[in-house]
Structure 1
Amino acid sequence: MFVDSMLLELLFGVDIDIKRLPSSHPSSPAPMPDHFKIASSWLQQFGKALQTPSIDETVSCIHPDGYLRDVLVFSWNNRCLHGHRKITAYLTNAEALKKSSIANVQLDTRPGLTSEYGRLTDKLPLTAVSAGFTFTCALGFGDGYFSLISTDSGEWKALVVMMALADIKGHEEMGHEEGDYGGHTLAWSDVNNERRKAIETNPDVVIIGAGQTGLNAAARFKQMNISALVVETNPRVGDNWRKRYPTLSLHSPRRINSMLYQSYPSTWPVFTPRDKMADWLEQYVQSLDLVVWTNSRPVPQPVYDSATKRWTVVIDRAGDLVTLHPAHIVVAAGALGAPRIPVIRDKALFSGTTLHSSEYDGGKYFAGQRVVVVGAGNTAADLCQDLTFHGAKSVTMVQRSGTWVVSRSASRVLMERMYPEELPVDVCDIMSMARPLALMKRLNKKSEAQMLEQEKETHRGLREAGLNISSGKDFFVLFYEGHGGFWLDVGCAELIRTGKVKIKQGAEIGSFTEKAVVFTDGSSLEADAVIFATSYEGICGSMRGVFGDAAIDRVGPVYGLDEEGELRGCYRPTGHPGLWFAAGDFSPSRISSKQLALEIKAIELGLLKL
């Protein structure tokens, strides 16, 4: 069992040799603690402190270097507070603890949320007693989760406590219907048509974008009795996937990429291919009875009326202009805006092909050509592999800065541990919410040496080939902070090690000639095609053309992490009333759609004023 001094050294102190920790190579196995008794005792004390309410007693249940993650319980926001001082100040602010009226705190009995004892991470001997719990509050019902660690004195304190509003009393998610309508006198098609007509005429919310993020939000809103119309610029739902490069498949396993309320078949591939995902989203709209207009987009510029608290937005629906007055607009076009293409001198002189990776339709078109791929993230690696397979004469990856490379198989182990097949996805989501990114960054930093050891042969070959391998951040953090800087390897690393893919590192393309690219270090390279795998502009920049400068200037940064390790500007107030952003991969959008729905429902009920 860990003692507090060793834990603090592991988590927060200088680098240490974890082999000397008792739980790493014990001379005799430590007895298994009675985790149910420990969890019950701690939760009884914590629940009493919350209900009293006593800030001092509540905070005393948490480790001095522990975290409190709050989602809409103590404020209308998502916050992650680290350490006693910040937690105390947060709970004291506007009498947050007192006004929350926490009561009926009980251990959760759902499979997967009952108490357990085990490691918090695969690579560090950091053990904890963890369990879920439920509670009531002034607004309704909540879900929580905690992980306890043993201190030097033998007490158990929470390294992490997560508390989230689950439902507003009287406005819970609806669940399934009986399937009989009007006393078995109405046809489903008639009922559905009437519902669609009402939504299309006067929606509470207009969602921009019918990718996984927008559809997760729409599905959640439907269950929360919030009418939502989704507008999608493409001809078909799923085209945002179909239009990407042909060999694309998700690099995270299927469970973590589930959509709300609908699991994949047991025969579904572990890593979902592009076109299967596109078709899945298309059937998802039908299965969940969502209302989506394709070939549709908002016309600049929607106008918000602060008196009526409604937007006037004109939708171009396949050439027909339709005026709507929703209370809310949710921008769910992902965290990505327009393709980012560097401005390079003398581009017009180049006789070859230049395109962004968003326009790439497969390597077969580049057989026999000398191709330069600008970028060194996931997309660039996949394109280089595809180009090599399809017989490009040469392939050169231009790496401008460092890249974090880890095998997809290694990341799969971690993600499947977080989302095991035997547990419901919504249960895994609760546990995921109790892994603050701020804490995971610190844990991953301490386990970095082990990961580097695991990948050392791959990294050595890549370095010898000229690739700059960066470290210090895991791919989760890189994804949330910048949408790049890493790749999960499925074969490109070996192509680089064997010289089939060349590396040009540390310089950018400065100009073109007729048949070559000239780099900023003065060197040049003959080329027939240049593909920019250079990511995308931020979504706020792209939305300026829709909403105008005045509206977007009121919105803070969108995406990336704030100082507490929470997503900026997503699923939380943006600074502009009635304007929201939803972003992130499948898991964040699935989880945080509930927060967004609760905020909108609270505004509708007069509980929240922005």
Structure 2
Amino acid sequence: MSLSILENLKADLPPASVPEDVDVENLCAGFCKTLSSLNADHFTPDAIWRDMFALTGSSRTFYGADNIIQTWRSLIQCALPESITYLKQSARKIDLGESNWIEGTFTFEIDEAPARKCTAALSIVPADDGRWKIWVLRTFLDKLQNHSSVDKMAPASQMNGDSKHLELRHDRKDTFECVVVGGGQAGLSVAGRLQSQGIDYILLEKNEAVGDSWKKRYRSTKLHTNRESSHLPFNRTFPSHYPQYLGKDDLARGYSDWAQYYGISVWLSTTLVSGQWHEDTRKWTLVLLKGGETRNITTTHVVLAIGAGCQIPMMPTYPGIETFRGEIQHSAEYYSADKWKGKHGVVVGTANTAHDVAEDMVAAGMVSVTMIQRSPTYVLPAEYYEKVQELSWNADVPTEIADQEMLTVPLAVSRLISMLVLHGMARAELERFDALEKAGFKTVRYGDIIYQVFDRFGGHYMDVGASAKIAKGLIKVKSDALPVHYTTDGLRFSDGSELKADAIVFATGFVGTMKDTIRELLGSDVADRVEDFWGVNEEGEVKGAFKPCGHSNLWMHGGTTTHARYMSRYVALQIRAALDGTPLPILS
């Protein structure tokens, strides 16, 4: 999918027209009556409505006042919002300098099955006629009536009298309401949410310990986003004694402690081998390899939390590889550069992993480190992004509130806000990017982080320190020609130049999709019915993830630490409603 999908979404930020002296509390409270009888004139012409499982049974975004009200009226015929209440003291002014608006939060209930409690968040602006109108409407499902909160859960010691994993208690079980495959942040988040809803589940983790999905990565692996945005559900998984940018061992320890604390039901050293859907019973039969033994289990729902499905390392091929006397690795195999001390290192690629590997090579004492850049790269200084994140994800704001503030915003709007703020920071620090380009690194100074994360799924660099090493010459850059041939001691390039290398690491990504993995595990009949996983659709919603994916009782889950955590609540709520026999009604 091209960048034009995001560029063409019908969204604009409002001008800075909110009066300084407006009483935001009274203004927002007055919209209770408006929400009970919405019509097109209550919206700006370019208004946007994003519904997350409250009325549409999915995650949908609608553009334009007429389209919004037509869809709204069709939905409330069967699911009428009632008991609309303004959340006192929720009103606030959002001021981005050249753009501003007022936000307020409301609660409402829907009695039609499944009975549920929901939230509406309004972004309102003054119109030309002097009236206040809705620019962005966000509605999202909070909880199912007669069930516990999906955002809170007591520790295992309070529920079960101990804080041990529940693995042994479930060891001989062979029937479950839900099976979650994959024990990274996505799988753990879903497992915890399922447990909060009283669902009989088991989490399958192929590694020997919770957290190994991070622990076994290359030594210098670290998150490039801040600690407060990286927690798992229910608590602050990483207290203040953890570093601001969590390393792989920090993540592994935090995940393990969290799973222990909440008594997450997990089978370790367990791999899904194959599965089959039975239309008559509406259940799955799964074949597992558990501790070296084959085992069959039955489940009603399956959640795949196994990443984007990009499992096969992608490496460019050049002639002459048989003559090269050095060592070649893909980043998937890479652990550290210690054994190459005093040697010449080359990294092919310039996204996050490539920078991490290059920094590791410098730290290991390699005599030279060179990155091969094949195309310009969006460089986003981590401190820029951290300033944005810390407005919501900080020690003073509950994580579930921060998630609600940030992750319910339509992607089309998030994109415009992020570019406005981040580009402004970049323009104020031109010398930082000038130094990179002087060193030969081709930068995209004013990129689109929403595109990188939600459509391209990477390909950028969140700068946590490597850019300064490039500017200082500690990491050199070759960006004026492409590799075309191996030599005995390095690479030859399209401009005829040669580069000495004793070790070459290809940080060039992976191939494959979630569909490929589903085809391998669950068969072509299932794979042919599911939507693609990740990327942005024509509404500006992520494809395939978190919602009905095209096949009954199958869910795909993943993404960044923030999205894996927050969106897991909706996966669990949908499964709970379906198990109750009252699935969320889905707008076709």
- TM-score normalised according to structure 1 size: 0.87
Instruction: Look up the match of 1:253.
Output: 226
Pairing 1:153-164 to 2, within 5 Å after superposition: 153-164=129-140
Q: What are the ranges of 5 or more consecutive residues in structure 1 without an aligned counterpart?
A: 1-9, 24-29, 50-56
**Residues 86 and 366 from structure 1, CA distance in 2 versus in 1: closer, same or farther, beyond 3 angstroms?**
farther
Question: Going by fraction, where is helix more abundant, 1 or 2?
Answer: 1
CA distance in 2, matches of 1:398, 1:180: 52
Contact 1:337 1:540 in 2 (8 A): no
1:443-501 CA-to-partner distances (Å, cap 9, x unmatched) read 34445652331331111111122222125533243112222222121221122222222
Instruction: Look up the match of 1:34.
Output: 23
Contact 2:163 2:263 in 1 (8 A): no
* Identity value in percent: 26
Instruction: Look up the match of 1:551.
Output: 526
Q: What are the ranges of 5 or more consecutive residues in structure 2 without an aligned counterpart?
A: 1-9
**Residues 447 and 424 from structure 1, CA distance in 2 versus in 1: closer, same or farther, beyond 3 angstroms?**
closer
Q: Which moved more, 1:348-357 or 1:67-76?
A: 348-357
**Residues 585 and 530 from structure 1, CA distance in 2 versus in 1: closer, same or farther, beyond 3 angstroms?**
same
What's the offset of the Cα at 1:549?
3.0
Instruction: Look up the match of 1:118.
Output: 94
Q: Which moved more, 1:517-526 or 1:460-469?
A: 517-526
Q: Which amino acid aligns with 1:497?
A: A
Match of 1:450 among 408, 424, 428: 424
The answer to whether residue 80 in structure 2 is matched with residue 101 in structure 1 is yes
CA distance in 1, matches of 2:487, 2:565: 48
Q: Which amino acid aligns with 1:451?
A: M
Report which structure shows greater RCO (CA 8 Å, sep ≥6).
2
**Residues 421 and 189 from structure 1, CA distance in 2 versus in 1: closer, same or farther, beyond 3 angstroms?**
closer
1:488 aligned counterpart, secondary structure: strand
**Residues 379 and 576 from structure 1, CA distance in 2 versus in 1: closer, same or farther, beyond 3 angstroms?**
same
1:326 aligned counterpart, secondary structure: strand
The answer to whether residue 75 in structure 2 is matched with residue 90 in structure 1 is no
CA distance in 2, matches of 1:200, 1:513: 58
**Residues 505 and 176 from structure 1, CA distance in 2 versus in 1: closer, same or farther, beyond 3 angstroms?**
closer
CA distance in 2, matches of 1:178, 1:350: 56
1:512 aligned counterpart, secondary structure: strand
Contact 1:162 1:433 in 2 (8 A): no
Contact 2:418 2:449 in 1 (8 A): no
What's the offset of the Cα at 1:512?
2.4
Instruction: Look up the match of 1:469.
Output: 443
Number of positions where the alignment pairs a residue of Structure 1 with one of Structure 2: 569
**Residues 187 and 371 from structure 1, CA distance in 2 versus in 1: closer, same or farther, beyond 3 angstroms?**
closer
Q: Which amino acid aligns with 1:371?
A: G
What's the offset of the Cα at 1:326?
0.6
Contact 2:153 2:234 in 1 (8 A): no
CA distance in 1, matches of 2:141, 2:76: 14
Instruction: Look up the match of 1:73.
Output: 54
Instruction: Look up the match of 1:210.
Output: 183
What's the offset of the Cα at 1:336?
4.8
**Residues 517 and 85 from structure 1, CA distance in 2 versus in 1: closer, same or farther, beyond 3 angstroms?**
farther
Match of 1:415 among 365, 389, 394: 389
CA distance in 2, matches of 1:356, 1:37: 59
Instruction: Look up the match of 2:296.
Output: 323
Instruction: Look up the match of 2:141.
Output: 165
The answer to whether residue 250 in structure 2 is matched with residue 304 in structure 1 is no
**Residues 180 and 221 from structure 1, CA distance in 2 versus in 1: closer, same or farther, beyond 3 angstroms?**
closer
**Residues 496 and 317 from structure 1, CA distance in 2 versus in 1: closer, same or farther, beyond 3 angstroms?**
same
The answer to whether residue 308 in structure 2 is matched with residue 335 in structure 1 is yes
Contact 2:347 2:371 in 1 (8 A): yes
1:100 aligned counterpart, secondary structure: coil
**Residues 560 and 190 from structure 1, CA distance in 2 versus in 1: closer, same or farther, beyond 3 angstroms?**
closer
What's the offset of the Cα at 1:132?
1.6
What's the offset of the Cα at 1:287?
0.8
2:299 aligned counterpart, secondary structure: coil
Pairing 1:254-403 to 2, within 5 Å after superposition: 254-263=227-236, 264-299=238-273, 301-346=274-319, 347-403=321-377
Q: Which amino acid aligns with 1:581?
A: M
**Residues 89 and 349 from structure 1, CA distance in 2 versus in 1: closer, same or farther, beyond 3 angstroms?**
farther
Contact 2:358 2:369 in 1 (8 A): yes
- TM-score normalised according to structure 2 size: 0.90
**Residues 118 and 191 from structure 1, CA distance in 2 versus in 1: closer, same or farther, beyond 3 angstroms?**
closer
- What value does the CA root-mean-square deviation take over the aligned residues? 2.8
1:562-609 CA-to-partner distances (Å, cap 9, x unmatched) read 222211100111112122110111211111111111221222223238
1:22-81 CA-to-partner distances (Å, cap 9, x unmatched) read 88xxxxxx53210001101123212x21xxxxxxx3433222212111011222210111
